[in-house]
Amino acid sequence: MIFVILKSRYNIFCNSNFKRNLYPIFFFICFFLKSCASHPVINPHLPEPGKTKRGYAISVENVAPFLWYRVGISQKSEFGFRLGLPIYGSGLDYSRVLYKKNNKWDMLNLSMSVNPNYNMDATYYKFKTKKTETDFLKSRWIGLRMMSIQKGIVGQTSNRFGLLFGFQRNPKWGMEIGYFHDPTAIPFTEILNTKWDPLSEDNFDRFSNKPVTDKDSGFPSEFSRITGFSLSIFFDLNASKRSKHAIKTN
């Protein structure tokens, strides 16, 4: 249901006044909801051999922005690299197109990330594009992600799965949001219950050995709901170059 709502309302993000107001709010959210896990910035378009894309992103996974770079290996595969500040959020990923028909395609992405809750992801994406009046292919996508934290910040393992939704309406920026759940850390029915306590009398026997925060650092552990939440806005630095080139040629 949440992805249906997001899909029907995402036009508001194209409003310039809204975007100016969004950035400080987004940084506020990032500071207080740092999740200590991270994910790749995906290419919303089909890969092309030798074609590169670069930019930066801000997300709840990383308080500081991180840089990203992607290069096409063939018409079906692409390699990605991320560099976090100072290192958290860094990682590698590989994408492979599995199926394509007209303006739709399916793709598999495999990634690994360096952060307090070191995680590996396997994500199955479904993309759809539509050409705008300026010939830009706006894109939207959904994905099913399996996320594995083999040794998190408190030294235990967490395996998560969930859905994500993303869009790019113009060449300069795009957005992705998702949630990935660990059913062994918290019951699915309690995800939205802010008063749920793993140390309560009813939950102690099952969940007391799965702390949601690290006592030493105060960061969310591999079992925290925040660790499963992903929200990022990515910016394509090549877009500004293409716009300047188009102005000169005209």
The answer to whether the beta carbons of residues 28 and 58 sit under 8 Å apart is no
* Residue 214 confidence (pLDDT): 87
The percentage of the chain sitting over the pLDDT mark of 90, rounded to a whole number, equals 57
67 forms bridges with which residues in the sheet? 56, 83
Alpha-carbon dihedral sign for residues 233, 223, 90, 216: positive
Query: pLDDT digits over 1-25, tens only?
Result: 444 433 444 344 444 444 454 444 4
* Residue 19 confidence (pLDDT): 46
DSSP annotation of 133:
T
Query: What are the helix (H) ranges across the chain?
Result: 2-9, 16-32, 204-207, 237-249
pLDDT at 35 over 70: no
pLDDT band at 87 (very low <50, low <70, confident <90, very high): confident
* Residue 29 confidence (pLDDT): 43
The answer to whether the beta carbons of residues 167 and 141 sit under 8 Å apart is yes
Query: pLDDT digits over 139-176, tens only?
Result: 999 999 999 999 888 999 999 999 999 999 999 999 99
Average pLDDT, the chain: 84
User: What is the domain extent for residue 233?
Assistant: 2-249
**How many other C-beta atoms can be found within 10 angstroms of the C-beta atom of residue 250?**
5
Number of domains in the chain: 1
Q: Residue 181 and residue 161: Cα distance in Å, rounded?
A: 5
* Residue 245 confidence (pLDDT): 44
Query: pLDDT digits over 41-76, tens only?
Result: 999 999 999 999 999 999 988 778 899 999 999 999
Query: pLDDT digits over 93-110, tens only?
Result: 999 999 999 999 999 999
* Residue 62 confidence (pLDDT): 78
User: What integer is the mean pLDDT of 24-31?
Assistant: 43
pLDDT band at 241 (very low <50, low <70, confident <90, very high): low
pTM for this prediction: 0.81
Buried b / exposed e along 78-114 (16+ C-beta atoms within 10 A): bebebebeeebbbbebebebeeeeeeebebebebbbb
Question: What's the burial of 227, exposed, middle or buried (CB within 10 Å: 0-12/13-18/19+)?
Answer: buried
* Residue 1 confidence (pLDDT): 44
Question: How many helices (H) and strands (E) are present in the chain, helices listed first?
Answer: 4, 10
* Residue 97 confidence (pLDDT): 98
User: What integer is the mean pLDDT of 35-44?
Assistant: 85
* Residue 250 confidence (pLDDT): 42
Encoding tokens for residue 172? Answer: 């300069």
Query: pLDDT digits over 126-140, tens only?
Result: 999 999 988 899 999
pLDDT at 243 over 70: no
